[in-house]
Amino acid sequence: MREAGRYLFIQTKRVLRCFPAVFFMTLLLLAAVGLVGKSVIEEKLSDDKKSMVEIGVVGDVSDSYLGIGVMALKHLDSSRYAINIQMMDEAEAKSALQAGDLAAYLVVPAGFVDSIVSGENLKITYYTRNSQMGIGTMLMNELSVIISDFITKSQNAIYGMQSLCRTYGYDDIYWDATNELNVRYIDLILSRTDFFEIEVLGVSNQLSMVGYYICGLTVFFLMIWGVNGCPLFVRKDFSLAKMLKINGMGAFYQILCEYLAYLLLMAASLVGIFALLGGICGMAEFSVPEWGKADFETILSFGVSMLPAACMLTAMALCLHELTGNVISAMLLQFLTAASLGYLSGCFYPNSFFPAAIQKTGQILPSGVAIEYASQSMRGEVSAGILLALTGYTALFLMAIYGLRRRKLAKN
Residues making contact with other proteins (CB under 8 A): 2, 6-7, 9-10, 13-14, 17-18, 232, 237-240, 242-243, 245-248, 409-412
62 vs 412, which CB is nearer to other proteins?
Answer: 412
| Residues 117, 159 contacting (CB under 8 angstroms) | yes
What's the chain's length in residues? 412
Decide: 41 and 87 in contact? Cβ < 8 Å.
no
Residue 309 CB coordination number (10 Å): 28
Judged by CB, which is closer to other proteins: 10, or 31? 10
- Least separation in angstroms between CB 257 and other proteins: 11
CB nearer other proteins, residue 4 or residue 117: 4
Shortest Cβ 269–other proteins spacing (Å): 17
Task: Provide, rounded to whole angstroms, the least separation between the CB of residue 236 and other proteins.
Answer: 8
Of the pair 2, 49, the CB lying nearest other proteins is at: 2
Q: How far is the CB of 244 from other proteins (least distance, A)?
A: 8
Pick 17 or 129: Cβ nearer other proteins: 17
Q: What gap in Å lies between CA 281 and CA 63, rounded to an integer? A: 53
For the beta carbon of residue 353, count every other beta carbon within 10 angstroms: 12
Q: How far is the CB of 220 from other proteins (least distance, A)?
A: 28
* Among 117, 184, 194, residue whose Cα is nearest residue 152: 117
Q: How far is CA 146 from CA 113, 152, 226, 379, in A?
A: 17, 10, 58, 39
CA 291 to chain centroid, in Å, comes to 15
The answer to whether 8 and 260 have CB atoms below 8 angstroms apart is yes
Q: Report the C-alpha gap between 158 and 355 in whole angstroms.
A: 54
- Pick the closer one to other proteins by CB: 49 or 236: 236
Tell the smallest beta-carbon distance from residue 259 to other proteins (Å): 17
